[in-house]
Amino acid sequence: SYALTQPPSVSVSPGQTASITCSGNNLGDIYACWYQQKPGQSPVLVIYQDTKRPSGIPERFSGSNSGNTATLTISGTQAMDEADYYCQAWNSATVVFGGGTRLTVL
Amino acid sequence: QITLKESGPTLVKATQTLTLTCTFSGFSLRTNSVGVGWIRQPPGKALEFLALHYWDDDKRYSPSLKSRLTLTKDTSKNQVVLTMTNMDPVDTATYYCVHSLRYYGSGRAVDAFDVWGQGTKVTVSS
């Protein structure tokens, strides 16, 4: 079955750029989405179709997808961005989620 | 404004059947490209897709759980119901109802889950 692999944790200093990767076989051939989940809250869609931001998501969130890797980039990271992030894709007519990455802003 | 709310038991016993209801508002499940689905999250673990009901009555299930899952809808009540048979303690999780939209482009498509319910915690006792 298809698998998406994320690093368990990423750390970033406030104001710096955070990059969270998601790896899967030929992931660049399909669309990726990203979700943010803060403690005790439901996930929120932050990127869809590789690069698009839903209404209300700050411009500092951006995405890319090529080859075997999709990347979520947060520019000028703020303390409020500290959260778990999950990538998601469709493969063989089913949904696959990555294992999640905890972003720490310190 | 799109909202979804999950309802159902908070505690079930092993081998029992779980029935969860998602009641939604602000959209119609008859609208092209729209879906209502279920995703769960065991405590401290990652998100796991369960099932998705599309506007055209097509359905998708997790391959690993397909034999235990059934989705039905009641359009008049704006509800989608998930049943999961033969519950086990490993099924203890928060179960989320989600609204999905299908996006197309460059010969590809993806269903993104753009609105989530608050989630309902289900504990399975042995």
Q: Contact at 8 Å (CB) between B43 and B116? A: no
What confidence category does residue B21 fall into, taking pLDDT thresholds of 50, 70 and 90?
A: very high
- What's the confidence (pLDDT) of residue A50? 95
Give the tokens for residue A66. 């090529």
Tens place of pLDDT per residue across chain A (106 aa): 899 999 999 999 999 999 999 999 999 999 999 999 999 999 999 999 999 999 999 999 999 999 999 999 999 999 999 999 999 999 878 899 999 999 999 9
The HSE-up count of residue B83 (CA atoms within 13 Å, CB side) is 10
Residues of chain A positioned with their CB less than 8 A from the CB of B60: 93-95
Task: Count how many pairs of residues, chain A against chain B, have C-beta atoms within 8 Å.
Answer: 70
State the pLDDT at residue B105: 83
Nearest to B112 among A33, A93, A96 (CB): A33
pLDDT digits (tens, 9 = 90+) for B40-97: 999 999 999 999 999 999 999 999 999 999 999 998 999 999 999 999 999 999 999 9
User: What residues of A are in contact with residue B47 (Cβ under 8 Å)?
Assistant: 35, 43, 86, 88, 97, 100
Q: What is the structure's pLDDT at A1?
A: 84
**What's the CA gap between B72 and B95, in Å, rounded?**
16
Confidence of residue B119 (pLDDT cuts 50, 70, 90): very high
Q: What is the mean pLDDT of chain B?
A: 96
Q: Which two tokens stand for residue A1?
A: 């079955």
Q: Does B121 touch chain A (CB under 8 A)?
A: no
